[in-house]
Amino acid sequence: MLDELLGRVSRYTPHTLETDRSFPEAAVLLPVTRSAQPELILTLRASGLSTHGGEVAFPGGRRDPEDPDLVFTALREAEEEIGLPPGLVEVIGPLSPLISLHGIRVTPYVGLVPDYVEYLANDAEIAAVFSVPLEFFRQDPREHTHRIDYQGRSWYVPSYRFGVYKIWGLTAIMIVELMNLLYDDVNISLHTPPERSTPI
């Protein structure tokens, strides 16, 4: 079942991102556990960081000049942030790139990881590492919806609450794309307003 779902990622053609200027690049890894009940691995960023401090995110970061490609960037950052050895990651494919509020072009990569990994958070960057079952997001149990107006278009982005963690923003957009791709019975729209939304 998991291999069938991830086959969809490997055959997927991400949306292109047309912009009139170049942006600094970054990459994140969406680690999915190889298990009967697959889970997504997420992080809580340390509160003292200059960008996105105290927010939930996928492991990842800015591309270094010596990084040969963005897959390398995602794997390098995942090892630095949560102690995930690159050799344990089977990179399946990319999702659509996004521009962050800080003007960085972020490319997500879906990767398969064993379910026995013991993650070691880099205290300077990461406050916690946690996992969320894919089935949780499949139900779209949003706490509320943020309306984000960007380049003349409105995005209606769900905000999820899993235990003490609030999952929203770019991270939630990536999760929605993954859920829509993996499951035929999921159709979460980011461009149609729900009954209630919260402008930000």
Residue by residue, pLDDT tens for the chain (200 residues) are 688 878 899 999 998 877 666 899 999 999 999 999 999 999 998 876 555 557 999 999 999 999 999 999 999 999 999 999 999 999 999 999 998 888 899 999 999 999 999 999 998 889 999 999 999 999 999 999 999 887 678 889 999 999 999 999 999 999 999 999 999 999 999 998 876 555 55
Evaluate whether residue 188 is within a structural domain.
no
Evaluate whether residue 147 is within a structural domain.
yes
CATH number of residue 42's parent domain: 3.90.79.10
| Partners of 155 in the β-ladder | 148
The number of distinct structural domains making up the chain is 1
Evaluate whether residue 52 is within a structural domain.
yes
Q: Which two tokens stand for residue 43?
A: 């992080």
Evaluate whether residue 13 is within a structural domain.
yes
Domain around 15: 1-182
What Rg do the C-alpha atoms of the chain give, in angstroms? 16
Evaluate whether residue 3 is within a structural domain.
yes
- Tell me the pLDDT tens digit for each residue of 105-138: 999 999 999 999 999 999 888 999 999 999 999 9
H or E element at residue 190: none
Evaluate whether residue 196 is within a structural domain.
no
Evaluate whether residue 200 is within a structural domain.
no
Find out whether 193 and 200 touch, Cβ atoms under 8 Å. Answer: no
pTM, to two decimals? 0.92
